[in-house]
Structure 1
Amino acid sequence: GGGAGIAACCDLRIGTETTRMGFPIARTLGNCLSMSNISRVVALVGPARTKDMIFKARLVEAQEALALGLLNEVVPDVETLQRRADETAKLVASHAPLTLEATKEAVRRIRRTLSREEGEDLILKAYMSEDFREGMDAFLNKRTPNWKGK
């Protein structure tokens, strides 16, 4: 889950054929993503697919992640991943920096990101709940949580 959130922050994402991504928090910890992370994921895959992944607490396999836009490219293994990431970084670094900067800023301006204040009530509700404490305890003790909606 944390890895998928970090990946959503990246401009380009490369994974291996064994990559699995998602946000299983509805089945594990019972918390919620930050408004920034929700905004990023919705911008990448849309609202319906975001809800599908989070509601079902499922991890998306590499080829589906590629089709959804969670990954830009899938390579066979970690060795290839490291080489491909290096090649991609060198390629992007060789391009006009002002074009890249303007593009990144334009996309940021077009995409509405919820502020921390706009979602603070949701964050507090999730993280201060009995369910979150139950989720943490269950996670740490490797057992299935008993959700109560409180």
Structure 2
Amino acid sequence: MPDKNVLLEVSNGVARITIDNAEKRNPLNVATVTELIAAFEEAQANDDVLVIVLTGAGDRAFCAGGDLKAGKDGGPFTGDISQPGHFVVRLFTLMENCNKPIIGRINGHAMGGGAGLVCACDIAIMASTARIATPEVKIGLFPMMIMPQMMRVIPRRRLLEMYITGEPWSAEQALEYGIVNYVTEPEALDTKVDELTSQIIARSPSAVRLGKYSYHAMQDMTIEQQFRFAETMLPRIATTEDAREGFSAFLEKRKPNWTGK
């Protein structure tokens, strides 16, 4: 049985997905992306999972981006031109449509496709020693596949600077530019991740699920379309079992017992 490039661990409502190739700095190739897709699909389908954490093995790299040594059939820069849908696009589409919160545990450098993965997460916590960059221009390429996700997160001028210069940014710069939510010392990374997962698990699963769905649905609408969509979604959320339980718990001054329905 071939070695797995991605590990999935589920415990106490948290699915932890790890790119497990620390020796090569957790690169992306066909095999790894295929396993990432399978891991996200499994976590999405598991009703016991309330939040997903994406990280890389080791402490040097979160993800080094495209595997330049994978060869023409395994690297992220080639594909079957007769088939629609690049395998990297399938991964990012899956993450975009995932109705469970995705936390990026950025344990080390995030390069190229790794930077795209950071932006594809809903929340990101970065170790202070980590760096983020899109160095594709240094080898005559441009970060096409990750651009849609990154354009939604990073301001235009900063993103163009990042792409055109290919120079790395520090964790502090990533925080300043809104790429990550928090920066911690490496030894405090898991503490912050645990804090956030605990907060999410304590909230209504149905509210989080429908709320994230609504956010992604509305982000490309006109403001009038957003208002119309919001008008239809609010009554839907308000009539869930979780909403009724939330109202009752508030009035009775107790903790709610969520069913996720």
Same fold (TM over 0.5): yes
Shift of 1:31: 4.0
Query: Whose Rg is larger?
Result: 2
1:34-45 equivalences in 2 (<5 Å): 34=145, 37-45=146-154
**2:166 alignment partner in structure 1:** 57
1:17 matched to 2:158? The reply is no
**2:114 alignment partner in structure 1:** 3
The answer (yes or no) to whether the contact 1:24–1:57 under 8 Å persists in 2 is yes
Shift of 1:110: 2.9
Unaligned segments of structure 1, at least 5 residues: 113-150
The answer (yes or no) to whether the contact 1:75–1:81 under 8 Å persists in 2 is yes
Question: Scaled by the length of structure 1, what TM-score is found?
Answer: 0.66
Higher strand share: 2
**What amino acid maps onto 1:38 in structure 2?**
M
**What amino acid maps onto 1:92 in structure 2?**
I
User: CA 1:46/1:110 → structure 2, altered by over 3 Å: closer, same or farther?
Assistant: farther
Shift of 1:29: 5.2
RMSD: 1.6
Unaligned segments of structure 2, at least 5 residues: 1-111, 221-261
Q: Identity, % of aligned pairs?
A: 23
Report 1 or 2 for greater relative contact order, CA contacts < 8 Å, sequence distance ≥ 6.
1
1:1-150 equivalences in 2 (<5 Å): 1-28=112-139, 30-34=141-145, 37-77=146-186, 79-112=187-220
For the residues of structure 2 that align with 1:56 and 1:50, how far apart are their CA atoms?
A: 10
Higher helix share: 1
Q: How many residues align?
A: 109
Shift of 1:84: 1.4
